[in-house]
Amino acid sequence: MILGIGSDLANIDRISGTLERFGDRFKNRVFTEIEQAKAERRRDVAGTYAKRWAAKEACSKALGTGLAMGISWKDMAVKNLPTGQPIMEVTGWAKDRLDQMTPAGHEAIIHVTLTDDYPWAQAFVVIEARPKAG
């Protein structure tokens, strides 16, 4: 069953401007070390950060809270599987919220997809609850 759906569209130029203006202060407030390392290795640094920004916004919407109610930006982190597929890992208050949303006997799976077409970066997040095996 689907527990939540979220989407977000971010302007890459806006994120680029924020990176130029606030630099590490912005990066360290919003992105985990893993997210920063990934973005800094990419040719399109601003586009990579913009996609992750959009993913965090989309995830907060799928959790039904937006960025209110105590969710920290770093409570939602985009990582990549060895295949390159993005995944969303939640900790802190975001994990607590996910646990509250998940029916007994089920496990929550967060699906995330990212795309960009300059000057836009977009993310969709779907939170699914699957019955636990066994």
Q: Is the pLDDT of residue 133 over 90?
A: no
> What domains, with CATH codes, occur in the chain?
2-131 (3.90.470.20)
Q: Report residue 126 as tokens.
A: 């779907």
Q: Report residue 25 as tokens.
A: 């202060």
- State the sign of the Cα–Cα–Cα–Cα dihedral 86, 50, 56, 3: negative
Model pLDDT for residues 58-107, shown as the tens digit of each residue? 999 999 986 666 678 999 999 999 999 999 999 999 999 999 999 999 99
Model pLDDT for residues 32-53, shown as the tens digit of each residue? 999 999 999 999 999 999 999 9
User: Taking the CA atoms of the chain, what radius of gyration do you get in angstroms?
Assistant: 15
Quick one: pLDDT at residue 65? 81
Q: How far is the first Cα of the chain from the last one, in angstroms, to the nearest whole number? A: 18
> Residue type at 45?
V
Mean per-residue pLDDT, 105-121: 98
pTM of the model: 0.94
